[in-house]
Amino acid sequence: MKIAVCEDNNIVAAYLEDYLSSLSVQNIEYEIFTSGDDLIHYMEQEKTSFNIFFMDIEMPGRNGIETSAYIREHDKNALIIFITDHQDYVYQVFEVLPFRFLIKPVQREQLNTVLKNAILQINTAKKLFFFKIGKQQFQVAYDEILYFEGNLRKVRLISTVGEWDFYGKISKVFSDLDVNLFLQSHSSFLVNMEYIRCITETEITLTNGMTIPISKKFRDSVKQRHMEYVEWRCGNG
């Protein structure tokens, strides 16, 4: 688990560093940066990224929102936790899909809750969906799956890395998935909520521009499930 702290306030940065160094969790590495430019330079030079970013919003030079936009271009799955003095930024940063907000002064209890949920989210996203084509077994990570489409006795899995058709029923697929990440929008479609950009009365638009139909039967549940997901995904601690 690699964590980056990007904070120009030395007191806050030292507080977060002390917190991370005191954790008893194994296999956690962290780096401290005092500006978005320093963080991006490090990522480019080392050709690396981080699983979790603690990101100050107000920084000189490239601010936290601009830095996060760069991160999102190169890593769709990293979790960004914004640290700010104001809750007014909540709507300004939606495009970079933050995981949580921490309001200064940051309390240790908040940090414990946020980090615990972040690790849980990462572990969930790394879960694998298994399916067979003929005698071959395949596996695709949850965080790569865009959606499933059922057609009679076959299911098509559309992911960020490819597409596969296999025999099965969409209802059985749904029962095998984590319902905290996937929703059903139609009798034939299951969607990964992480990739939803917007929802209308009749369709879901994904972050890559693809559209998924919403049937009347699932219209209310789609909105409710997605609202619950966004509240959890972007909630305060």
pLDDT at 38 over 70: yes
What is the CATH classification number for the domain harbouring 186? 2.40.50.1020
Write down which residue in 60, 93, 125 finishes a domain: 125
On average, the pLDDT of the chain sits at: 90
Q: Please indicate, yes or no, whether residues 156 and 99 belong to a single structural domain of this protein.
A: no
Q: Please indicate, yes or no, whether residues 108 and 15 belong to a single structural domain of this protein.
A: yes
Contact between 139 and 125 (Cβ < 8 Å): no
Q: Which domain holds residue 36?
A: 2-125
pLDDT digits (tens, 9 = 90+) for 56-94: 999 989 999 999 999 998 888 899 999 988 666 555 566
Q: How many domains does the chain have?
A: 2
pLDDT computed for residue 235 by the predictor: 56
Q: Please indicate, yes or no, whether residues 45 and 98 belong to a single structural domain of this protein.
A: yes
pLDDT at 95 over 70: no
Q: Please indicate, yes or no, whether residues 117 and 223 belong to a single structural domain of this protein.
A: no
Q: Please indicate, yes or no, whether residues 113 and 133 belong to a single structural domain of this protein.
A: no
Are β-strands 211-213 and 79-84 bridged in parallel, bridged antiparallel, or unpaired?
A: unpaired
Write down which residue in 125, 140, 171 finishes a domain: 125
pLDDT at 6 over 60: yes
pLDDT at 236 over 50: no
Q: 188: helix, coil or strand?
A: coil
CA–CA separation, 124 and 176 (whole Å): 13
CB neighbour list of residue 124: distance below 8 Å, 6 or more residues apart: 142, 178, 180, 181
Count of beta carbons in the 10 Å neighbourhood of residue 25 = 10
